[in-house]
A = this chain, B = another copy of it.
Amino acid sequence: MTKAKTKNWVGFDLGGTKMVAVVYDSSFKVLASVKNKTPMRDGPKAILARIQETLSAALAAAGVEPANVRGIGAGCPGVLDLDKGVILEAPNLGWKKVPLQSLLKEWFASDVVLLNDVDAGTYGEFMFGAGKGARTLLGVFPGTGIGGGCVYEGKLIRGKSGSAMEIGHIPVRENGRLCGCGNRGCLEAEAGRLAISAEVAQATFRGEAPYVAENAGTDLKKIKSGLLAKSIKAGDASVERIVRNAMKLMGRGIGGVVNLLAPDVVVLGGGLVEAMPDLILEEVKQGMKEGGMASMVQPLKIKVAELGDDASVQGAAAWAAAELG
């Protein structure tokens, strides 16, 4: 057995629709990758069984014994207690108080590090993607909500026991829309994909978005990022206006965050950005000028994420390596 073999790292990304396990060698070359659906309908226990199965399959495919795994990094949704390694609540998974860290430790007799999935994606872009070499990297991932992460001088900024960088919940509009968090006017309530889809559904109902009317109708669930992009391409002007307004407002919010963190690189990722990167970059840049100080905004680089869906799993493994050494 070579010495390098004892330094394999495993990344795991747990999502509401799928989960991915990737086994890396000590220099982060991919040895094997296994993807499975998250069995949402079968309940929390079935999800845990699938996690064990997915990681075991990836290790088997890589020909790596658990004993030769130096550490597992797992990117998780929801509210985490990082000190205890517990997922306190993950509504997407129907989970409450799941001690994932100790379960993984038990199953694979390996060191385990949990982190928030958006933090994992941000760290992945920092190590291997669009944020490489940044002193301060701000990652913003508009999706159903709007997730954020920050790597400062090589380390993720996190809360005492959980996540930080809840950029989706900075207040951007007084007396604005009610947000899932209970407050009003949060960035994601005003400019997240769900907020956009709700406005588009209204426009569709009013007959202002023929492409959406024909291809999705007025059901929020069907008005997703790809469809929004197609509708804009097809000439639904009201949809373009709605998306541009939202992304400009998001840029304004990001400008405020830039004033606080003075990042040298801002990376935008996630499904909405992947679907229409140019339009979003344009509006975010404009919004950032309105919300951020010129001295902070002018010198920074704003980029589109490079790793797509792989950012979180790569970042989770790399963060485990950073934490466990």
Which residues of A approach B to under 8 Å, CB–CB?
Answer: 79, 135-136, 148, 150, 152-153, 155, 157-160, 162-167, 169-174, 181-184, 252-253, 255-257, 259-262, 264, 290-296, 299
Q: A158: shortest Cβ distance to chain B, in Å?
A: 7
Query: For residue A262, which residue of chain B has the nearest CB?
Result: B159
Asked if B171 and A255 sit within 8 Å, CB to CB, the answer is: yes
Q: A163: shortest Cβ distance to chain B, in Å?
A: 7
A160-B262, A162-B262 given; 8 more Cβ-contact pairs under 8 Å:
A136-B164, A148-B260, A159-B262, A164-B259, A165-B260, A182-B293, A183-B290, A183-B291
Q: How far is the CA of A293 from the CA of B165 in the complex (A)?
A: 12
Q: How far is the CA of A160 from the CA of B135 in the complex (A)?
A: 7
Asked if A166 and B294 sit within 8 Å, CB to CB, the answer is: no
Residues of B within 8 A of A136 (CB): 159-160, 164
Q: How far is the CA of A236 from the CA of B117 in the complex (A)?
A: 51
Q: How far is the CA of A183 from the CA of B155 in the complex (A)?
A: 31
Asked if A293 and B181 sit within 8 Å, CB to CB, the answer is: yes
Query: For residue A290, which residue of chain B has the nearest CB?
Result: B183
Q: How far is the CA of A262 from the CA of B181 in the complex (A)?
A: 15
Query: For residue A181, which residue of chain B has the nearest CB?
Result: B293
Number of this chain's copies in the assembly equals 2
Residues of B within 8 A of A79 (CB): 295
Residues of B within 8 A of A295 (CB): 79, 162
Query: For residue A153, which residue of chain B has the nearest CB?
Result: B155
Known: A148-B260, A260-B257. A290 touches B184 (CB 8 A): yes
Query: For residue A257, which residue of chain B has the nearest CB?
Result: B260
Known: A164-B260, A257-B260, A260-B165. A173 touches B174 (CB 8 A): yes
Contact among B150, B153, B252, B264 with A171 in the assembled complex (CB-CB below 8 Å)? B252
Q: How far is the CA of A148 from the CA of B257 in the complex (A)?
A: 13
Asked if B290 and A171 sit within 8 Å, CB to CB, the answer is: yes
Residues of B within 8 A of A152 (CB): 152, 157
Asked if B157 and A261 sit within 8 Å, CB to CB, the answer is: yes
Asked if B294 and A170 sit within 8 Å, CB to CB, the answer is: no
Asked if A160 and B264 sit within 8 Å, CB to CB, the answer is: yes
Asked if A170 and B259 sit within 8 Å, CB to CB, the answer is: yes
Query: For residue A260, which residue of chain B has the nearest CB?
Result: B165
Q: How far is the CA of A55 from the CA of B137 in the complex (A)?
A: 38
Contact among B164, B264, B296 with A166 in the assembled complex (CB-CB below 8 Å)? B296
Q: A81: shortest Cβ distance to chain B, in Å?
A: 11
Residues of B within 8 A of A150 (CB): 260
Contact among B166, B255, B259, B261 with A259 in the assembled complex (CB-CB below 8 Å)? B166
Chain A to chain B contacts (Cβ below 8 Å), 7 pairs? A160-B264, A160-B299, A166-B296, A170-B260, A171-B291, A181-B293, A184-B290
Asked if B181 and A294 sit within 8 Å, CB to CB, the answer is: yes
The 8 A-B pairs with the shortest beta carbon distances in the complex, nearest first, are A159-B262, A170-B256, A164-B262, A166-B259, A171-B291, A169-B259, A181-B293, A171-B256
